[in-house]
Amino acid sequence: MQGKKLLHKFMQESSFLHKKVLDTLTITCDGLLKAKKLSVTALGRAIASKTPDKHAIKRVDRLVSNPTLEEHRGCFYKALAEKVVPKTGWCPILVDTSCLTADSEFQLIRASLALDGRGFTLFEMAYRNGTLSQIYEIFLEKLNEVLPEEKGHVILISDAGFHNKWFHLVKKQKWDFIGRIRQDKHYTTADGKSFPCKSLHKIATLKPTHHGTVFLCKKSHNKAIICDLYSIRKKIKGRKMKTKKGAIKRGSYSKAFAKGQKEPWVLASSLPKNSFNPEQIVRLYSFRMQIEESFRDMKNNKYGFSFKNTLTRSVRRLNALMLIAAIVNFIVWSVGVMAEQKKWHLKCQSNTSKKRTLSLSYLGAIILKSTYFQIKTSEIENAIKNIIIPSDLNIMERQF
């Protein structure tokens, strides 16, 4: 019931849609809070309705196919972004892709604000596999529309799948970037000498190192990306991917993943050297793992919304389902933020640790389900104002 009140409060601020569409969206989000399964059928069965399940399912089906919802989808993300994006300083945003369907035919690209904990989803969109480079510009333009006009300087942090075309478009938006460089990429020094980026692996150490300002290409030219290169060799943690029987996995995916984890980081950054030192550049990039956790929140059967089992095969419908997940994630996350600041997590953990051992989203879901805790929207709004952005000095000085 408390979750439904919070949903109504958020939807009241979204007056750009017809009331009936907003009502259906609200009860569908409430259904996701109850069912924790992000599929049309599961949502239809979970919503409160006096009609048979068949009609409730069709109601959700019409919602996710509604072209008006697709048209105004960015307005909801904008309303969410305005609550958390810092108005001054630096605004570190994580960008990555992930498979949406089991056959990998459809994937998503997501931008999340890096926080001290979970990344907060700012914008996302589905696309067909193999068309990622074609939607770079559309995605960045939509992200720019979603972000509030009054915001800190944007830093886009991406993994090795994003290269020169992406960096060019980021600079076109007058933003900065940090990206990992892998595979057979080359860089050219100011004196015109070209080297493979892999050559930095041999000289990478446990301490972050700056390798100077370079052209990110084989031969320098007017359209070449000018950036600074950094490297670090991470300590090997000794983790092994295992089968259900406990044996170490030997498949091609496991071997490729292991190789990527052992390989030193070579990072390209457009950030000014006088504002960020090598340790801070590496620290910012290390927050990239947060977006992987947010993917799990949506797709995992045990800890998330079971979205990896979806049978939807339409970009519009996938976008609508992801919007529903984003709204619900905001609700549970914001309640979790408030609960931690009020020390409620101590009453939700089975251990005696003073430190929070539950994710903010999971903690928020527990609080909403319980009748013991009473939630006030004013307390949630105040709690969100106190969240910490990684570019704050105390976060940047932590060990990575």
Exposed/middle/buried for residue 55 (C-beta within 10 Å: 0-12, 13-18, 19+):
exposed
Boundary of a domain, candidates 283, 299, 315: 299
Q: The tokens of 30 are what?
A: 């409430």
What SS3 class is residue 138? Answer: helix
In a domain, 371, yes or no: yes
Separation between Cα atoms, residue 42 and residue 37, nearest integer Å: 6
Q: Look at residue 231 and tell me whether its pLDDT is greater than 70.
A: yes
Query: The pTM is what?
Result: 0.90
Asked whether residue 40 is domain-assigned, the answer is no
Confidence band for 6, pLDDT divided at 50, 70 and 90:
confident
pLDDT tens-digit map of 142-163: 999 999 999 999 999 999 989 8
Q: What tens digit of pLDDT does each residue of 304-363 get?
A: 888 887 889 899 999 999 999 999 999 999 999 999 899 998 888 887 788 888 888 888
Q: Are residues 295 and 360 in the same domain?
A: no
Per the domain annotation, does 59 fall within a domain?
Answer: no
Both tokens of 397, joined, read: 């000085």
Pair (180, 290) in one structural domain: yes
Please state, in angstroms and rounded to a whole number, the distance separating the CA atoms of residues 135 and 144. Answer: 14
Same domain? For 281 and 367 the reply is no
Is residue 377 domain-resident? yes
Same domain, 191 and 339: no
Residue 177 lies in a domain: yes
CB-side neighbour CA atoms (13 Å) of 102? 7
Rounded Cα–Cα distance for residues 308 and 295 (Å): 10
Helix axes 315-341, 360-369, angle to 10 degrees: 80
Domain count, the chain: 2
- Mean pLDDT check: name the lowest of 9-18, 27-36, 77-86: 9-18
The residue segments making up the domain with residue 227 are 73-234+262-299
Predicted pLDDT of residue 220: 65
